[in-house]
Amino acid sequence: MTQQQPPEFIEKVKTGISGFDLLSEGGLPKGRTTLVAGTAGSAKTIFACQFLVEGIKEGQNGVFVTFEESPQAIRKNMRGFGWDIEQWEAEKKWAFVDASPKTGNRPLVSGEYDLGPLLARLEYAIEQVQAQRVSMDSLGAVFTYVPDMAQVRGDLFDLAWALREREVTSVLTSERTQEYGDISRYGIEEFVADNVVILRNVLMEEKRRRTIEILKYRGTPHQHGEFPFTILPDQGIVVLPLTANSLERKSSRQRVTSGNAELDGMCGGGFFRDSIILVSGATGTGKTLIVTEFLAGGVNNGEKCLLFAFEESQEQLFRNASGWGREFEQMEQEGKLKVFCRYPEETGLENHLVKIKQLIEEFQPDRVAVDSLSAMEKIAPLKGFREFILSLNAILKEQRIMGLLTANTTSLMGGMSVTESHISTNTDSIILLRYVEVYGEIRRGLTVLKMRGSKHDKEIREFTIDESGMHIDKPFRNITGILSGTPTYMTQSEIDRLGSLFEET
C-alpha cells in the first residue's frame, strides 16, 4: 500500500508593502515571476523598488535591473521615500544592473538581439549580493531594441526560466496604453510571467483614483477585484484591502453613556459599547454639540477619546465646547482627549484614511468621532467615498471602538444626503436632527431612527440648546411630515378622526 503524499503548496514571500500581503493572502509566490503592468504614472517603478526595500529590511538582498532610468535617477527619486539605496549598495544589499540608454548613444541593432550578456550580468549581480529578490523596470524598453516579436518572446521566456532556476522572486514591470483593455503594450509580457498585477490611475469625476488588482496568481488564492491604494512620502505604496475585512467580530452588550442622560433614555439606556452611530441633520441643528457631549461623556467615564474634525479648527472647537460647559483644552492637556483637525482638500481621501488609522493605533482611543463625513464627500468620486466609509467602519469595528459620525443633509428641513445613503446600512444606530417650523417659529427635533439589537424611543422629540448643552423635551404633537421636511399642523378634530379609524371594535 503506497503512502499518500501531502499536497504541495506554493510558498509565498511577504512583500512588506502595506496592505498588499493581505490582498494577496501572503505576498508574492516564492521563486516565481510577477508582472506589474500599468500606464505612465501608475507607480510601477515605486512598486518594483519598494519590493526590494522591504526585502532588505527582512534580510533578503535584491538586484534592480533598469532599462529606462539611470541608477543615479532612481537613487535620487526614491530618496523622497526615505530609502537610502546608495547606503544599501555600499553594504552589498542592493545591486544595479544598468541597461538604460546612455545620452547621445542611441542603440543600434543589427542582426539578432541577444539577451545573453544581460543574463550573464544579472546572474553575476545575484551572486555578488546573494539576492533573493529581483526587480526589472521596464520590459517595454527591450521591445524598442528588437523588432522581431517572436525572438523577444523566446528571450523573455529564457529570462523568466533563468530567474526561476536561481530561485529568486521577481517583479517585472511593463507599460500599458490604457487603464482598461490590453494587459500590456505588446501583448507578450503577461504570458511570460506566472502572476499579473495591474496598477491603475483612473480619472473619475475630475479626480484621480489609484487602484491595484491581482489579475492572475497561478495556483494560489488571492482577493479579487480592484482595491484603492495611495502613495505616501514616508511609506511608499499603501494598499487599502476593503473586502479583506470579515464579519466574524464579537459584539458587546455593555451600555455606555452618549454624554446626554435624556438621549441615553431614548436609546434604552445608552449606546452599545462597540457600536457605530450616525448623526444626520442640516447645518446648525446640533450635530457638533452631540459630538461634544459624546466625547465629554467618554472622558468623564475614564475613556480615551479621539476627534477628527474636517470643518472647524481646533480653536473653534475648544471655544464652542467651552461655551457648552465642556473644557476640551483641559481634557487634551490631561491626555484624555486628542483633537485632529484638517481641511479635506489638503490631501486625498486614501491619505486621510491612512492618517486616521495611524492615529487610532498610536492613541488607542475608546471612542472616536468624525465631524463631518460630508466634508470628505467633496474630494473623491462616489465610489472612492463609499470605500472610505467602509474602511473607516471596518477599522473601528476591528478594534471594537465606539464611533460617532456626523453627516449633513442638503435640505434645511430634512431629506437624505448622499453621505447618509452610503453609510446608513453600515451603522448600528441613526439619530436624526431636524428643523421644525411651527407657526412661523423654527424649533429643533430629534429622533432615534434605528438602533440595532435594542428597543428605543420612536417619537420625534423637541430639544433646545443653551450654555449647558442639549435638553431633550416632550414629543411633537399635532404635527406630521417632520422627517420628510414638510411639517404639517393637524387640528384636534383631525387627530380624533384618524384615531377612530384604528379603534378596536
For residue 438, give the 3-state DSSP assignment. Answer: strand
Other CB atoms within a 10 A radius of the CB of residue 462 amount to: 18
pLDDT at 1: 46
Tell me whether residue 165 is one of the annotated catalytic residues: no
Fold designation for 255-498: Rossmann fold (3.40.50)
Instruction: Single out the catalytic residue among 25, 68, 89, 226.
Output: 68
pLDDT at 248: 62
d(CA 303, CA 315): 23
Select from 165, 74, 60, 181 the least CA-distant residue to 123.
Answer: 165
* 369, 290 Cβ separation under 8 angstroms: no
Q: If you ran DSSP here, which 8-state letter would residue 424 be given?
A: G
pLDDT at 417: 57
- Check if CATH label 3.40.50.300 holds for domain 12-239: yes
Instruction: Give span(s): CATH 3.40.50.300, the chain.
Output: 12-239, 255-498
CA distances to 280, 415, 464, 476 from 481, in Å: 17, 11, 20, 11
Residue 316: enclosing H or E segment and its boundaries? helix 314-323
pLDDT at 315: 93
pLDDT at 8: 63
CA distances to 34, 37, 45 from 181, in Å: 19, 12, 21
pLDDT at 213: 92
Select from 419, 449, 422 the least CA-distant residue to 434.
Answer: 449
pLDDT at 309: 94
pLDDT at 341: 94
Tell me whether residue 329 is one of the annotated catalytic residues: no
pLDDT at 103: 64
Per-block average pLDDT, block size 10, for the chain (505 residues)? 59 88 89 89 92 92 90 91 91 88 59 70 88 87 70 77 85 86 74 87 81 87 87 89 60 88 93 91 91 96 95 92 94 95 88 92 95 85 84 87 89 61 77 85 89 88 93 84 71 70 60
386 φ/ψ angles, rounded to the nearest 5 degrees: -65, -40
Instruction: Single out the catalytic residue among 175, 311, 350, 377.
Output: 311
* 44, 38 Cβ separation under 8 angstroms: yes
456 φ/ψ angles, rounded to the nearest 5 degrees: -155, 165
Strands 367-371 and 488-489 come out as unpaired
**382-398 helix and 349-363 helix, angle to the nearest 10 degrees:** 10
Residue for cell digits 509566490? 29
pTM: 0.77
Strands (E), 260-318: 271-272, 276-281, 305-309
d(CA 242, CA 23): 9
For residue 364, give the 3-state DSSP assignment. Answer: coil
Tell me how many degrees the CA angle 238-392-24 measures, rounded to the nearest 5: 40
